C-alpha cells in the first residue's frame, strides 16, 4: 500500500496473454503493456494447419510465450518432451517463456507433488543450457491444478512452499545463481464476476511473483495472466463507445 490509505502503488511489468486473434489489436491499444501468446508450435515452418509459429508471434509484437499450460497438457496431450521442444525454440528465438507446472488433486493426495514438479521441470529443461535461461526473462508458473475450479484455494503458505521447492530444483539442475534469476510465479483462477474496481482491486490479479519465498504485490515484476475474454471484452467495449 502507499502512504495514503486506499492507494495501491506498484512498479510492475505487465504481460497480457490473449487469444492469438486479438494479439495485433491489443498491440496498438496497449503500447505500455507487454504481449504474450498462449501457445506456440515447436516447428519453425511447414504445413501444420492451425498452428502458430514463432515468426507469426514476433510479427504481432509478442515478447512472451506460455508453454505447458495445464489445459494444453490435459486436452491436447502435450507431454514433457513436447514442452521441452517448445521451450528450446522460444529461447532460440530470444522470446521469454512462461513455463507452467503443477499437480492434480489425485497426485497431491498420493503425496507426489514434489516428484511431479521435479519431473516436469527436469524433462522440460533437458539439454537447455544455463546461458539460455539466464539470457531470457525465464519464468516458471506454479499452476495448482487441484485448486483451479474446485473451490479449494491454494493459500499463501502453500504457494511459498512450492516457490522454494522450485528454486531448489533449479539450483540442482544448474546452480543457485540461475535459480535466483528465474522468475517464479503463482497462477490462480479468478472468476470474472469477482473483478471489482475498489481499493483492494489488486487482490483480483491472476498472478503474483514469488520472490525469495514470499508473495507480494510490491515486487518490481508482476505477471498477470489475462486468459479470459472478460478483459478483451472490456478493452474493445471501451474503444468502441
Instruction: Confirm whether 143 is a catalytic residue.
Output: yes
Residue 102, burial from CB neighbour count under 10 angstroms (0-12, 13-18, 19+) = buried
Determine whether 238 is an active site residue.
no
Strand-pair partners of 15:
34
Residues 6+ apart with CB under 8 A from 150: 105
CA distance 184 to 201: 22
Kindly give, in sequence order, each residue whose CB lies less than 8 Å from that of residue 123, ignoring residues fewer than 6 positions away.
Answer: 80, 81, 83, 84
By residue count, the chain amounts to 241
Q: What is the largest CA-CA distance in the chain?
A: 57
Which one of 5, 69, 81, 238 is the catalytic residue?
Answer: 69
DSSP 192: G
Could you give the CA distance from residue 12 to residue 66 in angstroms, rounded to a whole number? Answer: 19
Which three-class secondary structure state does DSSP give residue 18? coil
* Angle, helices 113-124/156-173, rounded to nearest 10 degrees: 40
Task: Say how far apart CA 143 and CA 159 lie, in whole Å.
Answer: 10
> Residues with catalytic annotation?
69, 143
Amino acid at each position: 500500500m502507499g502512504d495514503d490509505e486506499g492507494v495501491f502503488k506498484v512498479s510492475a511489468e505487465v504481460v497480457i496473454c490473449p487469444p492469438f486473434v486479438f494479439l495485433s489489436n491489443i498491440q496498438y491499444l496497449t503500447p505500455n503493456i507487454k504481449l504474450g501468446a498462449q501457445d506456440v508450435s515447436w516447428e519453425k515452418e511447414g504445413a501444420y494447419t492451425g498452428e502458430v509459429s514463432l515468426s507469426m508471434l514476433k510479427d504481432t509484437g509478442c515478447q512472451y510465450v506460455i508453454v505447458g499450460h495445464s489445459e494444453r497438457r490435459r486436452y491436447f496431450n502435450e507431454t514433457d518432451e513436447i514442452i521441452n521442444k517448445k521451450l528450446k525454440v522460444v529461447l532460440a528465438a530470444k522470446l521469454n517463456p512462461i513455463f507452467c507446472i503443477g499437480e492434480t488433486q489425485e497426485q497431491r493426495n498420493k503425496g507426489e507433488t514434489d516428484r511431479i514438479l521435479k519431473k516436469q521441470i527436469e524433462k522440460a529443461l533437458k539439454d537447455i543450457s544455463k546461458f539460455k535461461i539466464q539470457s531470457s526473462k525465464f519464468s516458471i508458473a506454479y499452476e495448482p491444478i487441484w485448486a483451479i475450479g474446485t473451490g479449494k484455494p491454494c493459500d499463501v503458505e502453500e504457494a511459498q512452499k512450492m516457490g522454494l521447492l522450485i528454486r531448489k530444483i533449479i539450483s540442482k539442475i544448474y546452480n543457485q545463481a540461475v535459480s535466483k534469476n528465474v522468475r517464479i510465479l503463482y497462477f490462480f483462477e479468478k472468476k470474472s464476476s469477482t473483478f471489482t474496481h475498489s481499493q483492494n482491486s489488486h487482490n483480483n490479479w491472476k498472478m503474483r511473483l514469488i520472490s525469495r519465498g514470499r508473495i507480494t504485490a510490491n515486487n518490481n515484476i508482476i505477471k498477470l495472466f489475462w486468459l479470459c475474454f472478460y478483459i478483451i471484452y472490456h478493452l474493445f467495449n471501451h474503444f468502441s463507445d
